[in-house]
Amino acid sequence: MKFSLSRSTFLSIILSVTVTNKGAYASHAGWGSNPGCRDAYVVIAGICKWGAGALGDTCSQSTGSATVNLACQHGLCVNTVCVSCTSDAECIANAGTVCVVDAVNGNHCGTGLGSDACADAGDCTNTDGYNYCNGGLCNDGSIGETCDDNVDCVSTFCDTSGLQCFDGANLGHCGANSDCASGYCDLIANQCDDAPAQGGGDPHYSLHFNQFLSVQSLCDLVLMDSPHAYDGLGVTIHARHAAPLEMNAGDEYTFISNLILQIGKERWEVQADGAKIFKDGEEYNLLENEARSGEQAAASGGFPYTVQMTAKGSRKNQIEYEFLFADRSKIVLRANRHFKMAFVEVSGRFGGAAIRGFLGTPEKKGLFGRDGALIATTPESADIEAYAQEWQVMESESKLFMDKNAFPQAPHKCVFVDSGHGFLETDDANLTNQLLRGSRRRLSEVNPEMKLAAEKACAHISESHKRHWCEEDVMKSGFEEIASEPFYGV
């Protein structure tokens, strides 16, 4: 027979124990007949536990392979006398029980499982990794239970503010990415949020849920597409991968040369060369139009968003254009006018509409195709070139960039750089012959002084993936200033 107790009942039984009916054995009406239990006892799995048998009371023991304490409030019967436990080894009423040290009520044997009495975490068995002493009772690490860190919670998320187990949802307090279901903790607000998707460098991408991959290629990619965002207004981002016009053999690399954001019918294009922004094909001076930046809603179907330009970095070479929407979704397009690379950052849910694209989706982790089917659960298990090819801008899609003929354009496939072999062959032999060819240098093959300089420049970056990207990009481009780019982090 198996019974369960609420915490209030459980505590009431413990705290109301008296030495009345000493030596009197009776059955408990609420728990069925058991001649070995006194009136206030509770029968659990055939064993009297937490009854009125006080220290020194006479108790009985079963015969057989295991000793069963039948008449002691503290759960320990030794030589027919109820005694206080002094060690876990003495608590043999049930396998795995522990001796709970309790200066107020006396030491007693407990199971150490959820809802069992405890004085500290050591009184809880922790066999499942979650039992933790909370308010005098062992808990099971469920939502709302007290915790010190993530291992105390079944959900694996401990709110760092209230020190309670929670589900890792957005806005919960956090101190590290591991505290959040999304895999991202905003360390400024110390709150869980959707992990921003980012791209930049020789192109490297941090997808939603902090999934890292690199894809060196010549290609126009659909980074994000949400045609139904904001009641059908629509938000789309394309990126153009290009190669420098001048490169030495062995220094071959690619980068994001252009980014274009379409909101409704408006198109905003950022060019890495010059760090300029164009609106609907015309260069747009945000400083001159700053007073009108909030009026962009009128031309975009009425949904409000603002555009703000900021010059960052010690030399003000990082020109950033931030698009902020009313629901606080955000898109950042940034270009460095010194080393002529573009960077992108996307965060938010954009009105709750479905989001797809090369950057993934904030709804679920993984790499997905155009049809929504899962291609791979992680970048490590994916064919990255096939994934990039999946998201090349198709012939049937609008060509958003002002230059609509940059090579390659569908139906020509993306051109990929194979580590150690330069650009791979494309499906157009004539155009292939025009491409720069060479050998990508591996980090171990570069000039030791250059490698040391790159490591020093990027040493401040805490995230290992991005630190490696930074070192790689500094060595390939020759620009140590790359290390100060916000994309790589701090």
Domain ranges of the chain: 1-140, 142-193, 197-420, 445-488
Give 269: exposed, middle or buried? Use CB within 10 Å, 0-12, 13-18, 19+: buried
Model confidence at 5: pLDDT above 60: no
Matching residue, tokens 């999934």: 211
For 309-357, the pLDDT digits (tens) are: 999 888 889 999 999 998 888 999 999 998 899 999 999 889 889 999 9
pTM, to two decimals? 0.64
Cβ–Cβ contacts within 10 Å for residue 6, how many?
9
Short-list 69, 87, 65, CA closest to 78: 69
Q: Return d(Cα 113, Cα 49) in angstroms, integer.
A: 14
Q: List pLDDT tens digits, range 431-467.
A: 433 343 333 444 445 678 888 999 999 999 988 999 9
Residues present in the chain in total:
490
Contacts of 117 (CB under 8 A, 6+ apart): 10, 14, 100, 102, 108, 110, 123, 136, 137, 138
Tell me how far apart the alpha carbons of residues 219 and 211 are, in angstroms, rounded to a whole number. 21
Beta strands in 166-304 (DSSP E): 185-186, 191-192, 197-200, 204-207, 211-214, 217-226, 235-242, 255-263, 266-271, 276-279, 282-283
User: Which residue is listed with tokens 């330069």?
Assistant: 422
pLDDT tens readout for residues 86-118: 777 777 544 446 777 776 666 767 666 666 667
